[in-house]
Amino acid sequence: MKLTLGFSPCPNDTFIFDALVNHKIDTQGFTFDTQLLDVETLNQGALEGRLDITKLSFAVYAKVKDQYELLNSGSALGRGCGPLLIAKKPIALENIDQCRIAIPGANTTANLLFSTAFPNAKNKEIMVFSDIEQAVLDERVDVGVIIHENRFTYQLKGLIKLMDLGAYWEETTGSPIPLGGIFIKKNISADARQQLNDLIRQSVQYSFSQYPQLSPYIREHAQEMDENVMRQHIDLYVNDFSIDLGKEGYAAVQRLMEAVK
């Protein structure tokens, strides 16, 4: 069976799917048409039902749950891994509502967490996540919500952190931060969905068995990222929840879904 599969080119996702899409494990007759896309593009694609299996922001889950089911394996969820609010110069948090704000997509968990902290901030500009640092530096926006590897690079560019939005979520809810998960179309048989979940788990476990070695597949898609940043990225976003969400993981996702309402 051939299925379409979408995930981001970031090291955490290529780490998770490397063994699966490159047949380093027995894929049990499944083959994949892979599409490596920015997470907001993946979110929009799910709203239109484009892909059979896809990485999505948990913030969009409620909008696609009639078509897609969350898999146990492959998620990015944890503590100390949330988006950051950055700026070029100090800005008092009480003034954020009046700022021009760059966000990495309307349907992203990052935007949801920002909106939870600053519900009255409305002057937002949607950008590809990798463009936000430069937009702040060029003063095209006042502040930016950054995700992925930009957590490790903003200080090198002279930018400052105004707030850790993930820490705010953890402090106010007590839950780990549900960033993104792997979703599969419900029109795929239950047996196949379970097989695919097991294969993703095996793929994650295979990559962990090779780590800290970085495969050519991870390097190829890391956009000239420094090896140390690649490993920081993997260490931050891939963990036991990526193998199996478990009760705590599902409870955190449910808590986030309640925040969407």
For the segment 219-256, what is each residue's pLDDT rounded down to a tens digit?
Answer: 999 876 789 999 999 999 999 999 999 999 999 999 99
Same domain, 31 and 62: yes
Instruction: Tell me: is residue 242 an annotated ligand-binding position.
Output: no
When divided into structural domains, the chain yields a total of 2
Same domain, 168 and 198: no
User: How does pLDDT run across 180-213, given as a tens digit for each residue?
Assistant: 999 999 999 999 999 999 999 999 999 999 999 9
User: How does pLDDT run across 106-130, given as a tens digit for each residue?
Assistant: 999 999 999 999 999 999 999 999 8
Q: What is the CATH number of the domain that holds 206?
A: 3.40.190.10
Same domain, 20 and 130: no
Domain end residue (candidates: 147, 173, 199): 173
Same domain, 39 and 99: no
Residue 119: is the preceding peptide bond cis (ω within 30°)? no
Instruction: Tell me: is residue 65 an annotated ligand-binding position.
Output: no
Residue 49 to residue 119: CA distance in whole angstroms: 29
Domain end residue (candidates: 137, 156, 173): 173
Same domain, 129 and 160: yes
Catalytic residue check, 148 = yes
Instruction: Tell me: is residue 110 an annotated ligand-binding position.
Output: yes
Read off the pLDDT band of 176 (50, 70, 90).
very high
Same domain, 71 and 88: no
Least confident of 55-59, 147-151, 210-214: 147-151
- pLDDT exceeding 70 applies to what percent of the chain? 99
pTM for this prediction: 0.92
Instruction: Tell me: is residue 36 an annotated ligand-binding position.
Output: no
Domain that residue 142 falls in:
84-173
Same domain, 148 and 197: no
Q: What pLDDT shows up at residue 95? A: 98
Same domain, 203 and 151: no
Residue 205 to residue 186: CA distance in whole angstroms: 25
Instruction: Tell me: is residue 57 an annotated ligand-binding position.
Output: yes
Domain end residue (candidates: 173, 198, 226): 173
User: How does pLDDT run across 14-48, given as a tens digit for each residue?
Assistant: 999 999 999 999 999 999 999 999 999 999 999 99
Same domain, 144 and 185: no
Same domain, 88 and 139: yes
Give me the chain's average pLDDT, please: 95
Q: What pLDDT shows up at residue 260? A: 78
